[in-house]
Amino acid sequence: MRPVIMAVLGHVDHGKTTLVKALTGTETDTLPEEKERGLTIALGFAACDLPGGPLYLIDAPGHASFLGTSVAGLSGADAVLLVVSAVEGPQAQTRQHIEIARLMGVRTVITVISKQDLATPAQRRASEAAVAELLGNHDYGQAEICPVSASDPKGLDHLKAVLTARLKHLPPAQGPAGPYLTIDRVFSQKGAGTIVTGSLQGGPLSRDQACKVEPQGLPVQIRGLQIRGETVDHAVAGSRVAINLRGQTGEDIQRGQVISAMGIGASSQRFDVRIARQKGSRTPLRHMEQVQVSHGTTRNTAHVRLYELRPADADGPQYAQLVFNSPQIAYRGQPFILLRQWATDRLAGGRILDPAAGDHRRQKALQIDVLKAVESRQATQIAAALSVRDRGCVQRAELERLTGQLSEDAVKNLSEQFAPHGPDQLIDRAALNRVQTTCLDQLGRLHATAPLLPELPIGRLRARMRNVPDALWQAALNGLVDTGLMLRQGAHIARADHDPMTRLSDQQHDLMTRLETRLRDGGLQPQAQPRGEDETETALMTLLARAGRGLRLYNHALKQIVWLHPDSVQQAALTLRRHFSGPAGFTTGEARQCLGTNRKIIVPLLEYLDETGVTSRQGDRRLIGAEAPN
């Protein structure tokens, strides 16, 4: 049997504390006020050994005034030990406690009918029947009842046998992905410093391990560990642990905070949850109602943002978002209880499905599908629902958080349906194929509107795909370029099968030939350059450049385009080599005079010759390079 944590619940003065002492030998009512008033006020902790392993008992208050403390006692509990007096039978807090256990998802309840020696046979029978009915009404099936009295040790032996038999078959605890301890006590000890206690969930803790105190994110180190008063080097999940912390003072640490391993969990002001109402309650939760949320060992105010507004008499669970005033820490699957501000006896509760939720008010129906997938605990369903909600993209961090799997493990199992995109995202392969098909279709339509342009600005295509997320857009574009279906030149793009030359009319062919002739005849004279004011002429000039029959240069100083024929540039390079082949080189002015042109032409021309290796610039002079024509 793994270590088991059991919450001891029941109405005030039904014998919980006495039973815990009988089982463990530990008196859990240690506060002076508890001894004076004869009732439990704070959580009490004790432990005993069963044949299969250790059993940790949390004695919760039975008085209505301490309901929040009782809820905290169920934090991390694997099972409930329900104590009912044979004399009085189930009372108000008995019913409320069992309702809390149901709402928090605790499925194992063992009932003790105490004070057998003080009850009449009729009272005992009535109490047993009432307990059986109570448990049956709360979906706990057939009741397993253990009669116990202070005067008969046989009842205690029978209870221990029942505990051993039932608890050894408990399924693995559903906890966080790593070590997670909700702090229920904080105190200082001379020579040791700050000590906290709590129920350890999720994974082991070790001495000298670096941790955080959440939700504040305070770094601490484990100075020492104790279990049941004994110093240990390691503590496993399911244990009640005392931790001696180094790195923060007792003033920085308080009940309700969480000790977690570095890198596990993150604080958030939004929890996405599934809420179940108290059985028999006819008062539904209202949208944006303010409630008290008890989770772990903390209690905070939040507003309930319902994902679906339902009729007042609707039964069944609801999906909602709890919006807190300050950051909180929780884990996926953690139970919680809602207490109304104005009526503490009206309860709701459930499970936290996403402890770091985003704002999905505009995607309520899609977010409900995500939360239903989270409840399935199937990574494929969760990833598919996230992809639908986020239009083909899945954030790795969100997938890891909602599946409880490390990102690489989840990605490996989803590789057929999703492709990695950078370190932070996955792309739905089916969505990627659809977007790529649409991209090709839309780019074809754009080409049809400007058939003579060899390529188009990428922004024009992106404008037609504005509803596609950036990550999916980039993945689609890169994939089309990598497979050769699209050609990309800087900020311009074209379909690979787009060839403007095949779309020229006879008149356009003739005009293109005349434009090339004008370039060749113009040489290096600016007055000979075509102005390109006509849209068709501009497109044909671009085609000349693409075909190597024209050269487009840019004069940055004048902010003007300069067109030259490649033959003219080749001849200019030959002329410069003949005149300036020595080591002295030449200046811009000397080149302009040699070539018989002006500054408008010579500056972009020499910059082009520098880029192509014909010349190389050294200060105000240029040298003829090895690649210059002979």
Would you kindly state where each structural domain of the chain is located, as residue ranges?
4-167, 180-261, 268-364, 506-624
Concatenating the DSSP letter of every residue in 479-503 gives HHHHTTSEEEETTEEEETT--GGGG
Question: Whole-angstrom Cα distance, residue 201 to residue 78?
Answer: 11
Question: Whole-angstrom Cα distance, residue 138 to residue 185?
Answer: 31
Fold of 506-624: Arc Repressor Mutant, subunit A (1.10.10)
pLDDT at 40: 54
**Consecutive H or E run containing 618:** strand 615-618
pLDDT at 528: 41
Q: Do domains 268-364 and 506-624 have the same CATH topology?
A: no
Closest CA to 56 of 181, 148, 158, 154: 181
pLDDT at 586: 94
Closest CA to 109 of 117, 101, 100: 101
Question: In a 3-state reduction of DSSP, which class is residue 209?
Answer: coil
Q: Which two tokens stand for residue 144?
A: 């397993």
Helix crossing, 379-389 with 364-376: angle to 10°?
170
pLDDT at 35: 47
pLDDT at 603: 94
pLDDT at 34: 44
Mean pLDDT by groups of 10 residues along the chain of 630 residues: 86 87 80 50 82 87 67 83 93 88 88 92 92 89 80 84 87 80 88 87 92 92 92 91 88 90 81 83 79 90 88 70 94 88 66 93 94 92 96 93 76 86 93 97 94 92 95 96 95 94 90 91 68 72 89 90 93 93 90 92 94 91 71
Fold of 180-261: Elongation Factor Tu (Ef-tu); domain 3 (2.40.30)
pTM: 0.79
pLDDT at 532: 46
Question: Whole-angstrom Cα distance, residue 475 to residue 263?
Answer: 29
- What's the gap between Cα 428 and its chain centre? 17
| Residue carrying structure tokens 């690489």 | 408
Amino acid at 569: V
The CATH code that applies to domain 268-364 is 2.40.30.10
pLDDT at 406: 66
pLDDT at 394: 95
Question: Whole-angstrom Cα distance, residue 174 to residue 176?
Answer: 7
Question: Whole-angstrom Cα distance, residue 227 to residue 242?
Answer: 6
pLDDT at 93: 86
Domain 4-167 has CATH 3.40.190.10: no
pLDDT at 29: 64
